[in-house]
Structure 1
């Protein structure tokens, strides 16, 4: 299954999010099978409204009907920015299975996750990534973390972190490009529900205890 075409969405959405934030009401994610509430001090941004133009651009580049379905079905139900120096942002991306017409399996997760993590790397120079995996109830989570800076701005230190999992109704990735340790801590420490099961934080402290290379 080709699950890498979602890359441009984080790439094209990240840049305007870093430049400007717009307050709006965060759409519900419960129909997708999860909840994740924007941390206190972060401002919601309307990444979802940028999707029609992004989808139009990517559909023109699609080579197969499957790729076109992926583009049509991707959602960005959560996005937010924290105005500090430098600013930080986070987002959640979902690929609903009922829309896509296929249900992804665990063997598809590494490719989906790696593809989703490539978007920010076109805007930022990240090096020496580390990978991990952990379980939250019945859900396996793939996670990556890397240090870097926006291209052309070596003075701005950032941390990229992305965690992905497969729920009953969708594949979901949560991502942050954090400008400081506090922003990263807030992203990781926010409680989530996955298919109705509650967890006090998205990323536990033990997430990187067993480092691994990404599956090819």
Structure 2
């Protein structure tokens, strides 16, 4: 499966023409909860989807890519000031997509989901990790970077993805400081009804011992 979807992110949303919003499924319908951290302001990335989907459908090379573009949702998005930081949860519902993704598809889905910020930021030297939350495996990537043309401004891109019963989900942030990253990682989640006190544990990027 070649998942190369480009989805809008909070940074690009103000540049897009506003279109009538298409209501996203609730996070509960998709099988998870993630509450926006205290001090963050909810935004409406979902309302930018129709125009972005139209543009990306014109570039799609396969029917599979077109289905993915049509089905992706952004049920959660938020921003934090001083310094500006952004987060979002992106989901691909399987009932819409028409097939269930597997673990090997997660890196491709994550890469496509992160194309929005990568169009505006230069990120390099990514590190990867994996961890388990109950019966769910989480794939995670972190990279350091800066807005294009502003090397003095340090940002961290982090994206964590998992497969739920009803959808593939990625949680992503572009964090302007360590506190914003800590707040993104430290927020509690439920995955298919199972509660976890934080999205990303401190051990997420630790190397696993060879078996």
Report the TM-score when normalising by structure 2. Answer: 0.89
* TM-superposed deviation, 1:202: 0.1
* Contact 2:126 2:143 survives alignment (8 Å): yes
1:173-212 Cα offsets, whole Å, 9 max, x none, are: 000000011100000000000000000000000000xx67
Query: Could you tell me how far apart the structure 1 residues matched to 2:166 and 2:208 are?
Result: 27
Question: RMSD over aligned Cα, in angstroms?
Answer: 3.9
Relative to 1, partners in 2 of residues 1:192 and 1:29: Cα closer, same or farther, differing over 3 Å?
same
* TM-superposed deviation, 1:53: 0.6
After TM superposition, the structure 1 = structure 2 runs for residues 33-48 of structure 1, keeping only pairs within 5 Å, are 33-48=31-46
Structure 2 gaps, min length 5: none
Relative to 1, partners in 2 of residues 1:67 and 1:131: Cα closer, same or farther, differing over 3 Å?
same
Report the TM-score when normalising by structure 1. Answer: 0.87
Query: Could you tell me how far apart the structure 1 residues matched to 2:208 and 2:44 are?
Result: 34
Q: Which has the higher helix share?
A: 1
* Contact 2:73 2:90 survives alignment (8 Å): yes
Other structure's SS at 2:12 match: helix
* Contact 1:163 1:174 survives alignment (8 Å): yes
Other structure's SS at 2:184 match: helix
Paired positions, count: 211
Relative to 1, partners in 2 of residues 1:46 and 1:154: Cα closer, same or farther, differing over 3 Å?
same
The worse-fitting range, judged by mean Cα deviation, of 47-56 and 58-67 is: 58-67
Structure 1 gaps, min length 5: none
Query: Could you tell me how far apart the structure 1 residues matched to 2:86 and 2:18 are?
Result: 11
* Contact 1:23 1:43 survives alignment (8 Å): no
Relative to 1, partners in 2 of residues 1:161 and 1:215: Cα closer, same or farther, differing over 3 Å?
farther
Relative to 1, partners in 2 of residues 1:57 and 1:207: Cα closer, same or farther, differing over 3 Å?
same
* TM-superposed deviation, 1:19: 14
Relative to 1, partners in 2 of residues 1:6 and 1:167: Cα closer, same or farther, differing over 3 Å?
farther
Query: Could you tell me how far apart the structure 2 residues matched to 1:107 and 1:214 are?
Result: 21
Alignment partner, residue 207 of structure 2: 212
